[in-house]
A and B are shown apart, each in its own frame.
Chain A
Amino acid sequence: MQKWLWFLPFLFVQAVLGQKMILEKSYVSFFSKAAIEDIKAENTESVSLFNISTNEIVFSIPIKDFKFDKALMKEHFNEKYLESEKFPKATFSGNVSGFRKEIKGDQSVIAKGKMTIHGVTNEIDVPGSISKDGEKATIKAIFKIKLADYKVKIPQLLWKNIADQVEVKIEFFYKPQ
């Protein structure tokens, strides 16, 4: 009688740890619109884990892998504004609410959690959509990031070149781990 009771905690742990999905492909872009110059960059090197049983999600974006049309813009972005040598990644860790893994097709969801950029962490709510198709899932979201919230300082001389809010677009394509 006593022996099989010892297995119970392991069964619960397995249910809790759940089923995880990892990224097959990723696309992150940000866009800043200002009077003199539009700034756009794309990154396809993000990594993420999405636990569809517990609805926990984490992702990490390596800052040095953002691609720009202008080499000088990329250098300033890394060297001066995001200081990517000190803070090489932007990370998010949180929970997705409104998602049910049994449903096929698009579902509107909200991810709530901690976003850390440039060494500064803020609690954010990101609305997005998840589409589950068989074994695979796709997450898409568009949200705005205020640069001051993450202590990204824009010199006054360049206020016409850089907006104080940037629009971030995320498309993550998951497969089972």
Chain B
Amino acid sequence: MGFLITSITGFAQDDLLKELEQTEKPKIEYATATFKGSRLVNGQTVEAKGKGELEFIFAHRFGAISSGSYNLFGLDLAYVRLGLEYGITDNVGVGFGRNSVDKTMDGYVRYRFLRQTSGARNMPVTVTAFVNGAIRTSPEQLPAGQIYSDRISYTAQLLIARKFSSNLSLQLMPTIVHRNAVDKTVENNSLIALGAGGRYKITRSLALTSEYYYRMDVKDGNQFRNSLGLGIDIETGGHVFQLVMTNSQGITERAFIGETTGDFFGGDIHLGFNVTRTFQLKKSK
């Protein structure tokens, strides 16, 4: 009898912990940090800023390595995009920026309307809608035969991503880019493309990224190429540094998705980097 009692008390602590676990209701677990930031290489990721967060993005692309030693393998040339993005809510963000390529200004909205979850409710992917409008302000004087609205383009994307593990996230980007004015012999005003990319984390703060945009329905004689980018993400405190290699020179959707001229495997590789710095403007909780 005494033995029976002491063995019951001995097991009781573990039993109490098990009993505690059984009282807990299943919760919805949201996948977080599918990517380290809002940019994959050139393009967007499903990530939205937290409410009240302001992100400053500085993106830089050098010239092409194939431009040779006289041009310091592209280092002499620089194309820059400066941008800001603000989280209105945890799922809705607005942003704007300016890229020195064609002096393009763009403004956009991102809306993450579906989040990947597990546990009490299962949703396999996170989906964010991204819409932007861009205007080329260069050349300053309108060329003959053009009207001002010819400079404008619109991009709409559905960003669909899944965090497969804490190290691997993959994303698909069905995209449509509408250009008000194009050379109709080699282009359609509306360009449909499918992007695919992902990131693989190799340490807590380091990840490898890749991104490819495949243009559909390309007309014969079209001189542009699909955009390919590879990168390394380094995260420290409030900054993310992305070191990139890409055949695209422009950093606005219209430019890198529709107007990339570089042949990646022919050496037209632009080294570059994206730097983001996050500030919390309003408390998130």
Contacts and interface: CB of A to CB of B under 8 A. Distances in A.
Contact of A62 (B14, B27, B51, B52): B27
B283 interface: yes
A80 interface: yes
Contacts of B50: 71-72, 74
Interface string A25-55: 0000000000000000000000111010010
A49 B16 contact: yes
B149 interface: no
Contacts of B285: 67-69
B53 interface: yes
A9 B4 contact: yes
B166 A157 contact: no
B12 interface: yes
A85 interface: yes
Contact of A72 (B1, B24, B280): B280
Contacts of B14: 93
A47 B23 CA distance: 9
Contacts of A158: 236-237
B13 interface: yes
B238 interface: yes
Contact of B280 (A49, A60, A69, A155): A69
Contact of A91 (B8, B9, B17, B283): B17
B95 to A, nearest CB: 16
Contact of B19 (A49, A68, A70): A49
B5 interface: yes
A157 B205 CA distance: 12
B111 to A, nearest CB: 17
B184 interface: no
Contacts of A79: 32-33, 166
Contact of A70 (B12, B21, B280): B280
Given A49-B20, A79-B32, A93-B14, 4 more contacts: A16-B12, A51-B16, A72-B50, A94-B13
Interface of B: 1, 4-5, 8-9, 12-14, 16-17, 19-21, 23-24, 27, 29, 32-33, 49-53, 87, 90, 166, 204-205, 236-238, 278, 280, 283-285
Contacts of A88: 29
Name the prevailing secondary structure of the A interface residues: mixed
Interface of A: 8-9, 12-13, 16-17, 22, 47-49, 51, 54, 56, 58-60, 62, 64, 67-72, 74-75, 78-80, 83, 85-86, 88, 91, 93-95, 113, 155, 157-158, 161
A70 B166 CA distance: 22
Contacts of B33: 75, 78-79
Contacts of A8: 1
Given A49-B20, A74-B284, A16 B1 contact: no
20 contacts: A12-B4, A13-B8, A16-B5, A16-B12, A17-B8, A47-B23, A48-B20, A58-B17, A60-B21, A69-B283, A69-B284, A71-B52, A71-B53, A71-B90, A71-B280, A78-B32, A78-B33, A79-B166, A88-B29, A93-B16
A27 B5 CA distance: 35
A50 to B, nearest CB: 9
Nearest to B30: A64
Nearest to A57: B16
Contact of B13 (A58, A83, A85): A58
- Interface hub of A71, A80, A93 (most chain B Cβ within 10 A): A71
Contact of A85 (B5, B12, B166, B283): B166
B55 to A, nearest CB: 10
A71 B120 CA distance: 24
A65 to B, nearest CB: 9
